Amino acid sequence: MTRRDILIAPSILSSDFSRLGEEVRAIDAAGADYIHIDVMDGHFVPNLTFGAPVVRHIRPHSRKIFDVHLMISPVDALIADFAGAGADIITAHVEAGPHIHRTLQAIKAHGVKAGIAFNPGTPIDALAHVIGLVDLVLVMTVNPGFGGQSFIPLFDKIKAARAMIDAQNHPVRLEVDGGINAQTARQAVAAGADTLVAGTAVFTGDPAHYAANIAALRG
């Protein structure tokens, strides 16, 4: 197997929200590829985080890719706000509404890359029908809503997503999110993942540790 280019996407969900701009600058300097931004609505998932104004305020702190993971339902009415706030990738959940195809079209219509996310219990099959519209597939390896949970070993699902991506012609990142540490990162990459979200594993210790934390995930 050719060695894939692995991208690391630290999730600011695990950062110190009282110093959010500094935390974004710290992970940027520590070698993050994407800044992963978890948006939760207290409805689609049982937790709340922040909305587009917060994304707009942290945008000047990094030029890295802003990877916005929307755990909200309904999604479509807020896409313009997140695109306008500086998102580079907007990912919506396939479970968040009846019209994922329309949602992906709406994301792309804003000139933003489109991602599709799958909860652990959701079959990956729906990807087949929309893969032409997506730039990123997000396989959740925890039930979304909280950082610090244990990795669910969905390796067959990651492999199936990898096979679907490799069977077509445009570039699509395969991202895993939830319970990623040095060990599960290695396993997920072996199954075909090329983009790793990590909250707890990156934001452990003070900012002086972030570079080593990120390097440990690259294996």
Which residues are CB-neighbours of 216 under 8 A, at least 6 positions away? 182, 201
**Residue 166 is among the residues annotated as catalytic for this protein:** no
Q: Give the ranges where the chain is alpha helix by DSSP (H).
A: 20-29, 52-58, 79-84, 100-109, 127-130, 155-166, 182-191, 210-218
Among residues 33, 38, 41, 135, which one is catalytic?
Answer: 38
In whole angstroms, what separates CA 83 from the centre of its chain?
16
**Choice from 33, 38, 135, 175 touching Zn ion (CB under 5 A):** 38
Is 115 a binder of ligand DX5 (CB under 6 A)? no
The least distance separating ligand DX5 from the CB of residue 108, rounded to whole angstroms, comes to: 22
* Structure letter (DSSP) for residue 88: S
**Choice from 73, 122, 187, 200 touching ligand DX5 (CB under 6 A):** 200
CA-based torsion, 119, 162, 115, 213: positive or negative? positive
- Among candidates 173, 182, 127, 179, which has minimal Cα distance to 153? 179
Length of the chain: 219
**Residue 177 is among the residues annotated as catalytic for this protein:** yes
Tokens representing 62 are 């990094």
The least distance separating Zn ion from the CB of residue 167, rounded to whole angstroms, comes to: 26
**Choice from 145, 158, 210, 213 touching ligand DX5 (CB under 6 A):** 145
Site for ligand DX5 in 158-187 (CB under 6 A): 177-180
Binding site for ligand DX5 (CB under 6 A): 11, 13-14, 36, 38, 69, 142, 144-145, 147-149, 177-180, 197-201
Active site residues: 38, 177
Binding site for Zn ion (CB under 5 A): 38, 69, 177
